[in-house]
Chain A
Amino acid sequence: MQIPNINRRKISVLLKENKRLDGRSNYEHRPIHIETGVSNLAEGSARVRIGKTDVIVGIKMNVQAPYTDHQDEGTMVVSMEFSSTAGERYEPGPPKMDSIEIARVVDRGIRESGFIDWKKLCIESGKRVWSVNVDIYCINDDGNAMDASALAAVVALKTAVFPVYDEEIENVSYGEFTKNPLPLTSNLPLTMTFYKIGDNLLLDPTRDEEDSSDSRITLAISAPKKDKMINAIQKGAETPLSEKDLDEIIQQIEKTYDLIFPDIEKKIKDIVK
């Protein structure tokens, strides 16, 4: 997407001095707001705003046959869409590659971190398991929809409870909820997406910054037992990243994770009782 060249130039000139158009430094996030209970008919839901970027996630569950290679485990399906409300550039139609990529990276981060105990989603081995549908909608896009989506998905899962299920007649009573939360660990899988503009790296870009960027890399991080673990990586865009970039990114994750994530954890704890 074309952005005015004057903005692009300004963005890259400022970044050389570790400055940004909105006054932040390279690795500084915009304020993060977390809400839950977006829909009372969803098994779980959340809304995350990072600056003006606004993402809503709903969880719906259903009972189905397991996959043949995981007979005693539940499943998860993550979908992501930029709603046509999200900005001028988004038109109605099936999900495009940018949203498919976000869905797949969020999926891998959650799946690989062991956040959900799949075995506990099994009702009857080989026959019936719970499937968790995570539907992500970006309703206003001002950059960094990736990290906002991952955070909103995790919060929505945190709030989710099982719907009432009658094993005899194999029927889910949608709209009636149990008090049983999903089997989750306390270890939050979240993503950090680094963008490269010219020679500079930054976190949490605005839409203009994202449009000005040459390259990006997302890392899904969880921290079981304080040891930071990478659960997913996705390098995006065409411009290469150098060894120096990677060193800087690994270093920044060490620093920024400890700066931001305790705050996010606390926010989630305050909301999700």
Chain B
Amino acid sequence: MTYTKRIDGRKFDELRPVRAEIGVIPNADGSALFAFGDTVAIAAVYGPKPLHPAHMQEPDRGIIRCEYNMLPFSVAERAKPGPSRRSKEISMVTGNALSSVVDLSRFPGTVIDVQILILQANASTRCAGINAASMALAHAGIVMKEMVSSVSVGKIDDKIVVDVDKDEEDYHEGEGATDMPFTLTSRNKNIVHLQLDGKLQLQRFKESYEAAKGACDKILKYQERALKGEKINENK
């Protein structure tokens, strides 16, 4: 049995139904929701604001302090609240990806807090979180060189797919499942975040990157529409 058809019937280069909107947290300086099907993330941005403790301040630039948080009830087996090694790593790579496009030299000595909450998880949570955070930063009016968009490219058996869901993540037949979250800049499709878990032939890396480019272009369009005020919900 090879993976000829996706479990949920999508085309190999098709995203799950997207939800995207801004302004979901009224108190925040900027906020957004982004969902790939059942994976729902919201992000809130506070700042730039003075950074305390003062010794953490950087005299020539601001910093982005990012926290990715999976709510305990967002997964089938309750997740222990609070930071784990996994969540700390995701917070770091997300912070790095966002820092690469924000002109932090304009905000010396300050911090921009980016809070990401996963309300419901069906794989690709870090990508949904990054997409929401990128929108929230733009919504907060923070000067960005480019937007970033994020998607998990998968190799399920020997097929390259985009926007991996939990069933695909758990696929064990054939070559099994490989998960590659990519975050790309909107214009040059530079890589600002990339991870991989699984087994990918070195020669197939390029193909995966191409799939990520295509998917990120689609995601960018949703982000831009939402930033113009549209409430996107393809779930009907």
Give chain A's interface residues, CB within 8 Å of chain B: 68, 97, 100-101, 103-104, 108, 112-114, 217, 219, 221, 227-243, 246-247, 250, 253-254
Contact = CB atoms under 8 A, between A and B. Distances in A.
Contacts, number: 92
A157 to B, nearest CB: 19
Given A68-B77, A100-B85, A250-B205, A235 B191 contact: yes
B25 interface: no
Given A114-B199, A230-B205, A238-B100, 8 more contacts: A97-B92, A227-B202, A233-B180, A235-B192, A235-B195, A240-B190, A250-B202, A250-B206
A221 B89 contact: no
Given A229-B202, A230-B200, A250-B202, A100 B191 contact: no
Interface residues of B, number: 31
Nearest to A235: B194
Interface in B81-131: 85-86, 88-89, 92-93, 96, 99-100
A235 B185 CA distance: 14
A239 B201 contact: no
B198 interface: yes
Given A229-B199, A229-B201, A230-B205, A242 B188 contact: yes
User: Which 6 A/B pairs are nearest by Cβ-Cβ distance?
Assistant: A233-B196, A240-B190, A235-B194, A228-B202, A230-B200, A238-B99
A241 B191 contact: yes
Nearest to A222: B199
Contacts of A97: 88-89, 92
A247 B200 CA distance: 16
A232 B194 contact: no
B202 A240 contact: no
23 contacts: A68-B77, A97-B88, A97-B89, A100-B89, A103-B85, A112-B178, A112-B199, A217-B194, A219-B196, A229-B201, A230-B202, A232-B196, A233-B195, A234-B194, A234-B196, A235-B93, A235-B192, A235-B194, A238-B96, A240-B185, A240-B192, A242-B190, A246-B191
B159 interface: no
B209 interface: yes
A246 B209 CA distance: 10
Contact of B197 (A228, A232, A240, A247): A232
A104 to B, nearest CB: 6
B12 to A, nearest CB: 20
Contacts of A100: 85, 88-89
B198 A112 contact: yes
